[in-house]
Homo-oligomer: A and B are copies of this chain.
Amino acid sequence: MESLQTRLHRQLEPTAWPGDGVSVINKLVLALVSLSLLVAIFETEPYIRTAAPDTLLALKAFFAVTFTFEYLMRLWAAGAMPQYAGLRGKWRYFWTPISALDFTAAAFLWLEILSPIHGTLGVLFRLARILRIFSLVRNSKWSRALRLMGSAIKARYIELILSLCLAVIALALSATALYLVEKDIQPDAFGSVPRSMWWAVATLSTVGYGDVYPITALGKVIAGISALTAIAIVGIPAGIMAAAFSDAFQKFRNQDSAAQK
């Protein structure tokens, strides 16, 4: 009969899971990690921080206890693998990158509760939890699809770089043209090429905030022409990304149907 350790190991370790996809326990962990990310995002809102400080603390305490318990379970279950058996093996497991990530995530949660870190560092610690999501799905079809996408993009790196260069040149030329035409009329918006660049990015990406735009007739003509011609150029990287995506999933489906035979 199988030991509890072996069964837990199979549930917790994505590479040991025999079935397709993600194990039940890891699905739960995935949901909790996503939830804790959501809480971390909403926690930045001052209104929520002052309105419900106790709920936030309770949620964080719950996550801290849960993720600590989860970490200890992972540490123990890792013993099912021969290389991580015994106290020595545990020590070795402790220093693997994924274990270190899990440990740090749990430790930072305790740190947040005991002495709240606000500011850039605290936000980055919280964001690092996104990596945990990737580590949990690393043996499922999602991760395989991601890997195929990565290689599809790599296969097109010359296209991507060249189209990005064209986009940058289009940006630089548009920005320079408007700098030359409107630098004396709107010095705040077009007084230098880097300043014009803000207009150029907003225009060629078609975002168009409307905080800066040409006001002279010549500036409007140049802006109109550069917008219409450059949109085609700036849109090319998006097209390449979409094609890479489409290629990757064609391969993905072919592998799937080959595996089913």
Contact = CB atoms under 8 A, between A and B. Distances in A.
Interface of A: 41-42, 44-48, 120, 123, 127, 130, 141-142, 145-146, 149, 156, 158-159, 162-163, 167, 169, 172-173, 176, 179-180, 191-195, 197-198, 201-203, 205-211, 213, 220, 223-224, 227-228, 231-243, 245-246, 249, 252
A228 B234 contact: yes
Given A158-B249, A205-B228, 11 more contacts: A41-B193, A42-B194, A47-B192, A127-B172, A142-B158, A145-B162, A146-B162, A201-B224, A207-B208, A208-B210, A211-B213
Nearest to A37: B172
Copy tally for this chain in the complex stands at 4
A162 B143 CA distance: 10
Contacts of A202: 207-208, 213, 224, 227
A180 B123 contact: yes
B198 A44 contact: no
A218 to B, nearest CB: 12
28 contacts: A41-B194, A42-B193, A44-B193, A45-B191, A45-B193, A45-B194, A48-B192, A123-B176, A123-B179, A141-B158, A149-B162, A158-B252, A159-B245, A198-B224, A201-B227, A201-B228, A202-B224, A206-B207, A206-B208, A207-B207, A210-B210, A228-B234, A232-B240, A235-B238, A235-B241, A236-B245, A239-B242, A240-B245
Contacts of A149: 162
B206 A245 contact: no
* A-side interface mostly: helix
A104 to B, nearest CB: 19
A243 B232 CA distance: 11
A184 to B, nearest CB: 10
A123 to B, nearest CB: 6
Given A205-B228, A210-B210, A245 B145 contact: no
A232 B238 contact: yes
Contacts of A146: 162
Contacts of A162: 142, 145-146, 149
A235 B228 CA distance: 10
B210 A209 contact: yes
A245 B198 contact: no
A228 B207 CA distance: 10
